[in-house]
Chains A and B, each alone.
Chain A
């Protein structure tokens, strides 16, 4: 029943789209206010998609196996929470979620853009509806979440246990909010180009959308990273895996865009650049969906997929790209006035320089991610690109990037001079000295590390100083930059100070090294609702005879029959102790990994600070107006 309602809602929702397009086109020539019908229809469309989404959730909760999606991804013994989160944990459901967010955002956009020119609003609706219609057709044609199965099976196939995890329940919706937010920016920038409205006012208005998507994207990536950290049991948070890179690329583009919008807000320059970035951000988000959904990517995160769907997204994606190329080249007019009044020392120049670095990082990630696909297609040679590639290319350029982040905000808009900036230099000397000491202490003697530490510390101190001296002025920016310096510092410390022990133990055995002993005391078995747990008990004794007990787990899920391992992590402010246990097939030995990861929690925390910077700037704007 719920499936039936959901299914019909989808068709009616598509109908709404067509009506909206019809009325918008009709309304285009009308100079008066926006036709109210458009607003109501958009709202109706949103409601219909909500209805359909709830229909799917209810089918999942009721374990209605006459629905193919539910049958494929659910099971009666699954806890309620994962029945619900399973709704968007699969291809069909996640696309429905995309659609839900798309329709929600266009509705919110309409409400929040009442002061903007009418032509621009209508055009935005039209462009957004193109995307929405595309997704409707995609959903209904190739991946309808309400497909029937007959005869009705008694039991479902179950959700991949690795996805039965709280972090992963929230990761997709939040990431999608970010992705889909970029679609509004995309439609809006195309509409603004056509109606020749890329101005300071437009920048002010679109900035909030940029920031909102940016916050969600940052948080989405964070959640994915946390999940990988404790679920995959590799003890790392970023592996430069193609699927991870794919979420990073829109983030880089969006961050760049955010800074450009700040410039545009003050000064009518960089308009072409803003348009290109907006298009790029959305395109990268869409390609992300394409690459992940089509299974074209060769990644450890990939799930088995249907290439037929990939073809649809591919064609759709390139239609949008060519549409935006057309708009950009034939409608956008380069402004003739005040284009080139750049001065070397000014905020916008420093932003531009950092933009350039960001584009470089983006290019590195992009090439590293898709080069294997290209090579495979061209020469059918299978390769992968490992982390050293990214580290080598990105780390050296982080140094000037960090320095620019510290100094740039100190400059004025338009034109500035560096006077009385004695403290800028003195802070740098202090940071250099400090990092030199740290490098000595850690016994790593590479020049580049010293400079990298120094520049991160520099940004850290400069932003810290500004909290006290400048107070509320530029606070949002300062928070975000501070968070970034903290992130880099935590990652550096984490990298250099992590230790790890990998060994195979039988129950009762003890591993001994000069620093610590690991005693494998026993295993316990526990029966849970949808899995059976084997819990190991390990006593870890360090040099000062302090004993810590870690209890990593193996979970044997019944449906589908898969073993996962749950790391046991003891977190405190300064370090994480991380332990995983794997059972090697048909052997008495357990495969043990014990890691000490300093400042792990600070990595998560600093990303939260960065996102909070964005949130703060939104709140401030609310407060001011």
Chain B
């Protein structure tokens, strides 16, 4: 009888104790990790955020290119999201061609959900304002940038978006870009 009691006690310590200890250790670890997800809200100026990083294919050369390579060397960039099927893009194209003459700024095209053939036809017809054209065939890069649709343009200075133009460029936004790029 005494032996039985001893056995029972032994079993408790041998089996249950490790189970409990492991269980609580796991909980401890999870809570500990959970602590690092803090809730303190520190306001920051979001519009000055660094531009998103991405990797895509350059339109003309079919080579892979990263965002770092694209946005380096110059002071100001204008990222213009466009597509050949987009009617308003035709309207703003004149402004882009005008802006091409400004040497302080490089215009980068992001070709949104488009066919290469159509895009080339579009540029042959209206002229090519772009220094580089990047392909965004599935639209994921535009989402990363938070674009609403085409056309849309981002003015970039030192890796930061300083101005976002939703919809086609017009007289006033064109002038503002000229003013900002000094």
User: Does A296 make an interface contact (CB < 8 A)?
Assistant: yes
Asked if A158 lies at the interface with its beta carbon under 8 angstroms from chain B, I say: no
Contact across chains for B35 and A376 when beta carbons are under 8 A apart: no
Which range contains the number of A residues in contact with the other chain? 20 to 34
Interface size for B (C-beta < 8 A) is 23
A329 in contact (CB, < 8 A):
yes
A295 to chain B: which residues have CB within 8 Å?
38-40
| Proximity bits, B24-52, A CB within 8 Å = 1, else 0 | 10001011111111111100000000000
User: Is the beta-carbon distance between B20 and A325 smaller than 8 angstroms?
Assistant: yes
**CB-CB under 8 A for A311 and B37, given A322-B21, A329-B17, A334-B8:** no
Give Cα A310–Cα B5 distance, bound, in whole angstroms: 42
Q: Chain B contacts of A412 at CB under 8 A?
A: none
CB-based closest 9 A-B pairs: A295-B39, A377-B33, A296-B34, A307-B38, A307-B35, A318-B28, A310-B35, A329-B17, A373-B34
Complex interface: chain B residues within 8 A of A306 (CB): 40
Q: 8 Å CB contacts to B: which residues of A284-328?
A: 290, 294-296, 298, 302, 304-307, 310-311, 314, 318, 321-322, 325
Q: Is the CB of A376 within 8 A of B37?
A: yes
Rounded to whole Å, the gap between the CB of A616 and the closest CB of chain B is: 38
> With a CB–CB cut-off of 8 A, which chain B residues contact A305?
39-40
User: Within the complex, what minimum Cβ distance (angstroms) separates A152 from chain B?
Assistant: 26
Instruction: Answer whether residue B117 sits at the interface, using C-beta atoms and an 8 A cutoff.
Output: no
When distances are taken between beta carbons in the complex, the residues of chain B under 8 Å from A330 are 13
Q: How far is the CA of A374 from the CA of B40 in the complex (A)?
A: 20
B121 at the interface (CB under 8 A from A): no
Question: Given A330-B13, A334-B8, does the pair A321, B31 have CB atoms closer than 8 Å?
Answer: no
Among A296, A302, A376: residue with most chain B CB under 10 A: A296
Q: Which residues on the B side are within 8 Å of A329 (C-beta)?
A: 12-13, 16-17
Look across to chain A and name the residue whose beta carbon is closest to the beta carbon of B39.
A295
Complex Cα distance A298/B31, Å? 13
Q: A311: which of B5, B24, B32, B40 is its contact (CB, 8 Å)?
A: B32
Minimum distance in angstroms from B31 CB to a CB of chain A: 6
A336 at the interface (CB under 8 A from B): yes
Q: How far is the CA of A3 from the CA of B176 in the complex (A)?
A: 58
B182 at the A interface (CB under 8 A): no
A-B contact count (CB 8 A): 58
Which residues of the partner chain A approach B21 to less than 8 Å between Cβ atoms?
322, 325
Q: B17 contacts A325, CB within 8 Å?
A: yes
Is the contact region of chain B dominated by helix, strand, or loop, or is it mixed?
Answer: helix
Q: CB within 8 A of B30: which of A298, A302, A322, A377? A: A377
Can you report 8 A-B residue pairs in the complex whose CB atoms are below 8 A from each other? A295-B38, A311-B32, A314-B32, A322-B21, A322-B24, A329-B13, A373-B30, A377-B30
Rounded to whole angstroms, the CA-CA distance of A307 and B36 in the bound complex is: 7
Apart from A305-B40, A325-B20, A329-B13, 12 more pairs, CB < 8 Å:
A294-B35, A296-B34, A302-B39, A304-B41, A306-B40, A307-B35, A307-B38, A310-B35, A329-B12, A333-B9, A336-B5, A374-B30
Chain A residues lying within 8 Å of B35, measured Cβ to Cβ, are: 294, 296, 307, 310-311, 314
**Complex: how many Å from CA A305 to CA B37?**
11
Taking CB atoms, residues of chain B closer than 8 Å to A296 are 31, 34-35, 37
Chain B nearest CB, measured from A283 CB (Å): 10
Cα separation A318 to B35 with both chains bound (whole Å): 15
**Segment 356-396 of A: residues with Cβ below 8 Å from B:** 373-374, 376-378
Provided the pairs A295-B39, A314-B35, A329-B17 are in contact, do residues A321 and B30 lie with their beta carbons within 8 angstroms?
Answer: no
- How far apart are B9's CB and chain A's nearest CB, in angstroms? 7
Q: Is the beta-carbon distance between A304 and B30 smaller than 8 angstroms?
A: no
C-alpha gap A213/B114 in the complex (Å): 70
B17 (CB) vs chain A CBs: closest residue? A329
| B31 neighbours in A (Cβ, 8 Å) | 290, 296, 314, 373
Nearest Cβ on chain B to A29's Cβ, whole angstroms: 26
**Alpha-carbon gap, A314 to B24, bound state (A):** 12
For the complex, give the distance between the alpha carbons of A373 and B29 in Å. Answer: 12
What is the CB-to-nearest-CB distance from A371 to chain B, in angstroms, rounded to a whole number? 11
A378 to chain B: which residues have CB within 8 Å?
30
| Interface mask (A526-547 → B, CB under 8 Å = 1, otherwise 0) | 0000000000000000000000
- With the chains together, A354 CA to B120 CA distance in Å? 76
Q: Mark B77-115, 1 if CB is under 8 A from A, else 0.
A: 000000000000000000000000000000000000000
Please give, as numbers and ranges, the residues of chain A lying within 8 Å of B20 by CB-CB distance.
Answer: 325
Bound-state CA distance A376–B34 (Å) is 8
Give Cα A376 to B37, complex, Å.
9
Q: Which of A538-569 contact B (CB under 8 A)?
A: none
Cβ–Cβ < 8 Å partners of B13 in chain A: 329-330
With a CB–CB cut-off of 8 A, which chain A residues contact B41? Answer: 304
Chain B contacts for A336, CB-based, 8 A: 5
Question: Which residues of chain A have C-beta atoms less than 8 A from B24's C-beta?
Answer: 318, 321-322, 325
- Distance between B161 CB and nearest chain A CB, rounded to angstroms: 26
**A-chain residues with CB within 8 Å of residue B28 when the two chains form the complex:** 314, 318
The complex places the Cα of A307 from the Cα of B32 at a distance, in Å, of 10
Residues of B within 8 A of A318 (CB): 24, 28
Interface string of A102-133 (1 = CB under 8 A from B): 00000000000000000000000000000000
For A333, the chain B residues whose CB sits under 8 A away are 9
